[in-house]
Amino acid sequence: MNNTILHINSVSKSFSHSIKKLNGDVSKEEYCVLDKIDLQVQKGKITAIIGSNGAGKTTLFNIVSGLLNTDKGELFYTPNGKKYNLRKISPYKLARIGIGRMFQDNHIFPKLTVMENMLIADTDPYGENAFTSFFYHRKKRKIEKERKLRAEQIFEMLFGKANPFCEKQEDYAETLSYGQQRLLGLARLFMGNYKLVLLDEPTAGVNPVLVKKIAEIIRKMVDKRQMTILLIEHNMPFVESLADLCVFINTGKIETAGSVVEVLDNPHVRENYLGKRTTKRNSTDAQA
């Protein structure tokens, strides 16, 4: 209990879709995407979630971040002594209590500048009220300045003194390359005060140099900001080098859980996900 930050208790989720038969009848069919998922996420650790495409990993993230309802089960978030029932909290409030998320597709704001993408990521909405927005207001100014300073410090801490983000801060974010957009998506998580961060395939579709960079950033999330990380990944060397714990989801069920070595060496996981290789080193570099 003490060391757990997120309790996922017996969470199930089904979707239904309509099937049109040849004779024109339409019938609804339910299919189960998550089946009684139990997971206690350890505070301060990096937990990797692995499993085939369509296994239900992103759906699990959507449930934790409130974008989808569960059919059954309970979710509790216990950052520091307090206990929140996640099923009873509006999705937008989650960021304010410390749950952050990076999406599988970037979800940065293309028509905001690079800097604005950082400023807007402050989870404290101070100054975002319409009716004060056209008055001069000293505190608002001060907070905006402070946000900008914080953003520049984050860029410097993550990418060094002369980095492309500070140089391009006035450009629309859509002008960044795909890989840079990913980095921006990670950098903006440092603008909030997050305790638990959900990362959905952060390395999908980026080159090896950036993969290393992303691993560094995630390490900094844990070491410098004491964030707990839940990580969906298909890149096994990345998982091995970074994660503390690993969970294997197959067709909506958690089939294996434990240390990374245990899970990746598990014959069942190899057979159903990694492929029957004998060396586990260069096992996979799967794309989304």
Partner 1 sequence: MNYVFHILIMINIYIILSVSTNLLVGMANLLSLGQAAFYGIGAYVTAYALIGLGLPLLPTLLLAMGVTAIFSFLLAYISLKLEGDYFILATLGFQIIIFTILYNWIDVTRGPYGIPGIPSPKLFGLVKIEGITGYIILSTILSAITIFVFYKIINSPFGRALKGMRDDEIAMISLGKNITVLKVEAFVLSSAFVAIAGFIYASYISYIDPTSFNLDEAIFILTAILIGGTGNIKGPVIGAVFVVLLPEILRFVGMPDNLAANMRMIIYGLTLIILMRYRPQGIAGEYKFSK
Q: How far is the CB of 188 from partner 1 (least distance, A)?
A: 8
Q: Where does this chain bind partner 1 (CB under 8 A)?
A: 65, 67, 90-96, 100-101, 103, 107-112, 116, 119-121, 123, 125-131, 133-134, 140, 144, 188, 192
Q: With CB cut-offs between 5 and 8 Å by kind, which of Mg ion, partner 1, ligand ADP, none does residue 94 bind?
A: partner 1
User: Among residues 116, 113, 111, which one has the least CA distance to residue 128?
Assistant: 116
Residue 164: strand, helix, or coil: helix
Q: How far is the CB of 116 from partner 1 (least distance, A)?
A: 6
Residue 192: strand, helix, or coil: coil
Q: With CB cut-offs between 5 and 8 Å by kind, which of Mg ion, partner 1, ligand ADP, none does residue 134 bind?
A: partner 1
Cα–Cα distance for residue pair 249/257, rounded to 1 Å? 9
Q: How far is the CB of 229 from partner 1 (least distance, A)?
A: 16
Q: How far is the CB of 128 from ligand ADP (least distance, A)?
A: 29
145-154: long-range contacts, CB 8 A cutoff, minimum separation 24 = 147/118, 147/119, 147/122, 147/191, 148/115, 148/119, 150/122, 150/191, 151/115, 151/118, 151/119, 151/191, 154/118, 154/187, 154/190, 154/191
Residue with Cβ nearer ligand ADP (53 or 177): 53
Residue 180 binds Mg ion, judged by CB under 5 A: no
Binding residues for Mg ion, rule: CB under 5 A, are 58
